[in-house]
């Protein structure tokens, strides 16, 4: 049975005291995670260790980094390697986020290299894919997502694919006031799962968690999470407010 996951991507937000207060509020809310459900916090790099320390003794709660470098080590000022993340207990890393692609020119090939590096360090990649409004309006959303999947994950072995998490980001629905409907989300998630099956077989495709990452909020989370191929959410703004994040967690 594949995992149900709610992952909070804090992006470049919150001060140190705010970050710790948010995590404490979530943990002390006495939220009961359903069986096979995970909650992941993805804070900025400086807070990873402090958040990790708070999560000790709270099964089902994990941390993720928001990025990692594709090389093991070297003269890459300002970068962080997967082995560094592994050394402090980070279990997941977000790769290929739409903002990394848009603002930093990250390519599918880079996502592939970063994901392999993460896997080699024992970290599970949360690999993002998704289309822009222009592509959606042209009706080519599946073509773009297919290309992203092929070029970033297509050369993986079945064993590597089995530990992936995939996040579908309809870029046109992030911070734009537009919303992807539950049927639109389900259609793309089913397409991604079919791609996984065609590449790696049915058993692996049925085991990979696919998260929705397009402005998931307390108001639409229950409907989205009820879709058969939507296994949770990669949450942005709503993960910065403990009450909203808890409502999304409880949507399961």
Query: What residues are labeled active site?
Result: 97, 169
Nearest C-alpha neighbor of 203 from the set 158, 137, 248: 158
Nearest C-alpha neighbor of 168 from the set 140, 197, 193: 193
Residues linked to residue 167 through DSSP beta bridges, in sequence order: 128, 211
CB within 8 Å of 4: residues ≥ 6 apart: 34, 36, 37, 38, 209, 225, 231, 232, 252
Radius of gyration (Cα) for the chain, nearest Å?
17
Please list the alpha-helical segments (H only) found in the chain. Answer: 16-27, 48-55, 82-87, 98-104, 108-120, 133-137, 141-153, 158-162, 182-200, 202-207, 221-225, 242-249
Q: Report residue 178 as tokens.
A: 């537009």
Q: Report residue 132 as tokens.
A: 């822009």
Q: Report residue 80 as tokens.
A: 């962080």
Nearest C-alpha neighbor of 171 from the set 220, 146, 223, 135: 135
């Amino acid at each position: 049975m594949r995992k149900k996951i709610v992952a909070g991507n804090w992006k470049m937000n919150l001060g140190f005291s705010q970050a710790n207060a948010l995590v404490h509020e979530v943990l002390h809310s006495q939220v009961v995670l359903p069986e096979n459900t995970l909650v992941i916090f993805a804070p900025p790099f400086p807070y990873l260790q402090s958040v990790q320390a708070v999560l000790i003794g709270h099964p089902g709660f994990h941390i993720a980094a928001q990025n990692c470098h594709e090389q093991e080590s070297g003269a890459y000022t300002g970068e962080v390697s997967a082995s560094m993340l592994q050394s402090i207990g980070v279990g997941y890393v977000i790769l290929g986020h739409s903002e990394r692609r848009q603002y930093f020119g990250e390519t599918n090939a880079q996502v592939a290299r970063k994901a392999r590096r993460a896997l080699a360090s024992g970290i599970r990649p949360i690999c993002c894919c998704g289309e822009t409004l222009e592509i959606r309006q042209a009706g080519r959303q599946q073509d773009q997502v297919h290309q992203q999947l092929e070029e970033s994950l297509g050369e993986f072995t079945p064993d590597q694919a089995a530990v992936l998490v995939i996040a579908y980001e309809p870029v046109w629905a992030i911070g734009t006031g537009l919303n992807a409907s539950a049927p639109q989300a389900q259609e793309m998630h089913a397409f991604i799962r079919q791609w996984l099956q065609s590449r790696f077989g049915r058993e692996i495709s049925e085991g990979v968690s696919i998260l929705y990452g397009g402005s998931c909020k307390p108001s639409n989370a229950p409907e989205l999470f009820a879709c058969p191929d939507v296994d949770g959410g990669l949450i942005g703004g709503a993960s910065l407010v403990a009450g909203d994040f808890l409502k999304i967690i409880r949507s399961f």
